[in-house]
Amino acid sequence: MIPFATLDTPALLVDLDVLERNLDRMAAFCRGSTVQLRAHFKAHRMAEVSRRQVERGAGGITCAKLAEAEALAPLGFDRLLVANQVVGHHKWARLARLAERCEVIVGMDDIEVARSTAAAAREVGSTVGVLVEVNIGMDRCGVQPCEPALELARRCADIPGLAFRGFMGYEGHLVQLERAEKEAGCRRDLALLTETAQNCRDAGLPVEIVSAGGTGSWDITGRFPGVTELQCGTYALMDLLFHEVAGAPFEYACTVLSTVISRPAQDRAITDAGKKSLHASFGMARPLDLPGTQLDALYSEHGRLRLPDPTAELRPGDRVRFIPYYLEGTVNLYDRAYAVRGSEVVDEWPVTGRDCSH
């Protein structure tokens, strides 16, 4: 083991003690409810985190892209949901081959895509699971609730090469609302999803899975009658966006270690963590142990710290750890993360899903 302070920078760190507390909290919640966690991979993108989630009871892994599922399958993950639309002849062929080696389910909102997916599966003798995606207010992908979703489910269930498994939806348009408004909105919109599922059952078509939720609404969605799966992911490592904007009560397990490379003025210092080390979408990262100090600008290779105390002893060679504002984008900038306990590096983890955007 080596002290993490000796690492070359910028470096991505994962605090194992904090990670394990976050994972344990979500696992305990799911054990005490009627939902199972199908943990989202896209936020942390590390197979080692996914393994720990499965060890704590997660019933599978959710992926944002087909390439993420393809990266996880050879590592022993065999219950994979691609919670997205998979479109294009190359992707349908890849999906069909993936379904030969593990259980794979995909989101679906178009009958022609369903037919093409099924044709690719039949060609190699596999079966692709399907969750009909329902638009419950996000206005991204998805068919309309109730009859349109039921009709697509019926048609998918009749196509050889597909296995209809249920429905999915996402209430992401609500996660930044104040708590009372968020709860009311989730109850309203999740009712559309669960009513659709019940209509399907009433029509004689079995519904095994009703999948929804994320870190921003985990405890609301996880208690909503009729929802069977949560797709939470960011909670494991956590970021400022979901903690401060969405109010998720998990701890910061992920930081970026940087080095001060210049102190050109009393009121500012420059670090080696810029836009290529800290994703700039949505907001600025925050120094972990420098109260009142702000990261007020990011350049390609430089981060500018504004120092409220001109006497602060921050000089070239000193280390600063940043809490990412947007975890998903930040993790995707790195090939590896260093797992630490206290001040020691105990392991090095590949960022398995880096650049798996296809």
Residue 17 lies in a domain: no
Residue 239 domain-assigned (yes or no): no
220 with 259, same domain: the answer is no
Tokens 């029509």 sit at which residue? 203
Q: DSSP secondary-structure letter at 24?
A: H
Of 177, 202, 234, the last residue of a domain is 234
The residue type found at 52 is R
Residue 16 placed within a domain: no
Same domain, 204 and 288: no
26, 57 Cβ separation under 8 angstroms: no
State the pairing for strand pair 344-350/2-3.
Answer: antiparallel
Range of the domain at 72: 33-234
Predicted pLDDT of residue 313:
87
Last residue of one domain, picked from the residues 174, 201, 234:
234
- Helix (H) / strand (E) element for 3: namely strand 2-3
- pLDDT at residue 281 in the model: 86
DSSP assignment of 78-138: -EEEEEEE--SHHHHHHHHHHHHHSEEEEEE--HHHHHHHHHHHHHHT--EEEEEEB-SS-
Beta bridge partners of 60: 38
Q: Give me the tens of pLDDT residue by residue for the chain, a chain 358 residues long.
A: 899 889 999 999 999 999 999 999 999 999 999 999 999 999 999 999 999 999 999 999 999 999 999 999 999 999 999 999 999 999 999 999 999 999 999 999 999 999 999 999 999 999 999 999 999 999 999 999 999 999 999 999 999 999 999 999 999 999 999 999 999 999 999 999 999 999 999 999 999 999 999 999 999 999 999 999 999 999 999 999 999 989 999 999 999 999 999 999 999 999 999 999 999 889 999 999 898 899 999 999 999 999 998 878 899 999 999 999 999 999 999 999 999 999 999 999 999 999 899 9
pLDDT at 53: 98
Are residues 63 and 70 in contact, defined by beta-carbon separation less than 8 angstroms? no
Residue 129's Cβ-count burial label (10 Å; 0-12, 13-18, 19+) is: buried
- Classify residue 307 by its DSSP letter: P
Query: In the prediction, which pLDDT does 1 show?
Result: 81
**243 in Cβ contact with 250 (< 8 Å):** yes
Residue 293, in any domain of the structure? yes
Say yes or no: 149 and 77 in one domain. yes
In DSSP terms, which residues pair with 62 in a beta bridge?
40, 81
| 202 and 297 co-located in one domain | no
Judge whether 256 and 322 are in contact, CB under 8 Å.
Answer: yes
Same domain, 218 and 340: no
Domain CATH for 46: 3.20.20.10
Q: What per-residue confidence (pLDDT) applies to 334?
A: 98
Q: Are residues 209 and 264 in the same domain?
A: no
Instruction: Give the SS3 label for residue 97.
Output: helix
Gap between the Cα atoms of 355 and 247, Å rounded? 29
Does residue 356 lie within any of the structural domains?
Answer: no
Residues 6+ apart with CB under 8 A from 21: 251
Q: What is the pLDDT of residue 101?
A: 95
- Does the residue 104 lie in any domain? yes
Side chain identity at residue 105, one-letter code: I
Is 292 domain-assigned? Answer: yes
Entry pTM = 0.96
CATH number of the domain within which 264 lies: 2.40.37.20
The span from the CA of 327 to the CA of 310, in Å, is 31
- What's the farthest any 2 CA atoms get from each other in the chain? 73
Q: Are strands 254-265 and 103-108 parallel, antiparallel or unpaired?
A: unpaired
Per the structure, how many domains does the chain have?
2
Written as one string, the DSSP assignment of 308-348 is: S-TT----TT-EEEEE-SSHHHHHTT-SEEEEEETTEEEEE
Same domain, yes or no: 6 and 44: no
Both tokens assigned to 230: 């949560």
* Residues whose CB is less than 8 angstroms from the CB of residue 6 and which lie 6 or more positions away in sequence, other chains included: none
Output the pLDDT for position 87. Answer: 98
Q: What is the pLDDT of residue 309?
A: 84
Q: In whole angstroms, what separates CA 346 from the centre of its chain?
A: 24
3-state secondary structure 202-266: HCCCCCCEEEECCHHHHHHHCCCCCCCEECCCHHHCCCHHHHHHCCCCCCCCEEEEEEEEEEEEC
Dist. CA 89–CA 105, nearest whole Å? 17
Co-location of 229 and 111 in the same domain: yes
- pLDDT at position 77 is 98
Inside any domain, residue 15? no
